[in-house]
Amino acid sequence: KTCIGVLTAGGDSPGLNAAIRAIGKTAIGKGWNVIGFRDGFLGMLEDRWVELKKEDLANILTVGGTVLGTSRLKPHRMETPKGPVDVRDKLVATYKRHKLTALVCIGGGGTHKNALKLAEKGLNIVTLPKTIDNDVAHTDSTIGFATALEIATDAIDRLHSTAHSHHRIILAEIMGHRAGWLAMGAGLAGGADVILVPEIPYDVNKIAAAIKRRVARGTKFSIVAVAEGARSIEDTRAYEAARQAGKSATNAAQKRIAKTVIAKLDADHEDNIFRLARQLNTLTGLDSRVSILGYIQRGGTPSHRDRLLGTRLGATCVEMIADGKFGIMVGVDGDRITTTPISKVAGNLKTLPPDHPLIRSARHLGTNLGD
């Protein structure tokens, strides 16, 4: 009897259970067995799994998170106190022990790298894209993005009335450490006055000038939507210099120094939004507050769009397995379902292009993008 495995890896997102349910129901409908590994690749390493029967798939469609659990374990580079270790052979053994026909890995950028490394060991893998950041290449949407967009938009709406009442600047930190899809989408949908994304290094003086122009027009509040990964021009330069130094390092000591500098810049960046709030307060004289939306953006019931996306991708990936098509990610291009080799997806980040309609619209509307 055909048996397939499924796991969810990386940060959770709403709609994962819709995908698990669709995979399970479609596969069971074909008379197959389905097992779910607990906590991503970690469960596969430790052979912790559960058989997914029809009754296990009931009542999970509307539930947030993942019923299987997740982790960020990298099988080809598992962190141990003695340094990174390659444990892929143990996962291959689990795959063989269960006589799997294929493994479905649902995840984001990191999961695609892991899946590719596992596929190199001969496993039949199909992946589905999920992340609230929407930064997976070769798919228009990822499972969880639409729901997170709703949540972040609602948060910006709510921040408007309080910023307005107190004549304050409120900076809302929105998830997205490498791409600004969520901050740009929610910022535009929520009518933020300033939107800062990782793709566009910002100049704090230009942001302050835009806020002051609003004050001069009689509007004494401003909403600034800040993606986690947004950086000032100065910080971006410092990063690039450290990265270049790392690349052109000719010995281990130089490499170590570059790594330390990057780690220090990363640590400083944690405080980025608070630093920006202080700078804007000094430059504009307006009271500034920070609101970090954080994990609220990843939780709760999935929107209809994520339920439908998870359902379509889940059902299609079982069709692919039935057709013997492996080593691919099932994604979407508009309304069309697409398949792309995992090798093209892994390590390929989808960022906001500078001429993207969202960015162009923001500029037409006079939204300040920090540049």
Q: Which of 150, 173, 228, 306 binds ligand F6P (CB under 6 A)?
A: 228
The least CB distance from residue 91 to ligand F6P, in Å, is 21
- How many CA within 13 A on the CB side of residue 89? 2
- CA 126 to CA 319: how far, in whole Å? 11
**How many residues belong to the chain?**
371
Q: How far apart are CA 134 and CA 145, in angstroms?
A: 6
Nearer to ligand F6P, 129 or 370 (CB): 129
Q: Is the Cβ of residue 24 or residue 69 nearer to ligand F6P in the bound state?
A: 69
Separation of alpha carbons 332 and 139, rounded Å: 5
Residue 56 among the catalytic residues: no
Question: Any residues with CB less than 8 A from the CB of 204 and at least 6 apart, and which?
Answer: 232, 276, 279, 280, 283, 370
- Over the window 275 to 304, marking each residue x when it contacts ligand F6P by CB under 6 A and - when it does not, the resulting string is -----------------------x------
Q: For ligand F6P, give the closer residue by CB, 38 or 214.
A: 38
Our finding on whether 266 is near ligand F6P (CB under 6 A) is no
Smallest gap, in angstroms, from Cβ of residue 298 to ligand F6P? 6
Binder among 98, 128, 133, 280 for ligand F6P (CB under 6 A)? 133
Min dist. Cβ of residue 82 to ligand F6P (A):
23
CA torsion angle 143 145 148 153 (round to 10): -150
Where does residue 253 rank: exposed (0-12), middle (13-18), buried (19+ CB within 10 A)? exposed
Which residue(s) pair with 33 in the sheet?
Answer: 3
Q: Report d(CA 117, CA 222) in Å as an integer.
A: 46
How near is the Cβ of 12 to ligand F6P at its closest, in Å?
8
On whether the CB atoms of residues 228 and 173 are closer than 8 A, the answer is yes
Q: Considering the rule CB under 6 A, would residue 26 count as an interface residue with ligand F6P?
A: no
Q: Which residue, 116 or 211, is less far from ligand F6P as judged by CB?
A: 116
- Residues 42-81, one symbol each (x = binds ligand F6P by CB under 6 A, - = not), give ----------------------------------------
Enumerate residues 106-125 that contact ligand F6P by CB under 6 A.
108
Contact set with ligand F6P (CB under 6 A):
11, 108, 131-133, 175-177, 228, 298
Residues designated catalytic: 133
